[in-house]
Amino acid sequence: MNEKKYAALEKEISPKTPYLRNCIKAFLVGGTICLIGQFVALFYMTYFDFTERTSSNPTVSTMIFFAMLLTGFGFYKKIGQIGGAGGSVPITGFSNAVVSAAIEHKSEGYVLGVGGNMFKLAGSVILFGVFSAFVVALIKTILVKLGVVSW
């Protein structure tokens, strides 16, 4: 069988890709993730007196934390299967990629398996930077709310 016959046979047998349906699903899943992020930002603005500008960092950290939990419990994989590219919204998709790499190499141990392979993907500076920023912002917010400090 030559290449032209094979290509024609493949085109005839292969199922049609539902591009429009995939785009709609990606739009809905990605939009839902962004909507949740907006609700998180509004939560911080309402209950912690953040401004629109200052609520961005804790919102990003919270979304990363949510994506890590969903990946750890196996739900983010299902979100990705349903929404395709919509599940790779930059912040949560990045978090999913980091945690997936860590989970995949858990059998090699926590330091060399989880830590080593997680850092290959994300880089230790990014990981520790985001986590420490979240912890510092959380401590600062609690201290300000309690009236211990005023910044």
pLDDT digits (tens, 9 = 90+) for 51-84: 999 999 999 999 999 999 999 899 999 998 999 8
Q: Residue 111 sits in which domain range?
A: 18-146
Radius of gyration of the chain (CA): 21
- Residue 10 domain-assigned? no
- Residue 82 domain-assigned? yes
- Taking the C-alpha atoms of residue 65 and residue 134, their distance in angstroms, rounded to an integer, is 10
- Residue 127 domain-assigned? yes
- Number of structural domains (the chain) is 1
Query: What local confidence, expressed as pLDDT, does residue 101 receive?
Result: 78
- Residue 2 domain-assigned? no
Please give the torsion angle defined by the CA atoms of residues 32, 42, 71 and 108, in that order, rounded to the nearest 10 degrees.
150
Span 88-130, pLDDT tens digits: 887 888 788 888 878 887 788 877 777 777 766 666 657 778 8
Whether residue 6 has pLDDT greater than 70 = yes
User: Which H or E run contains 12?
Assistant: helix 3-13
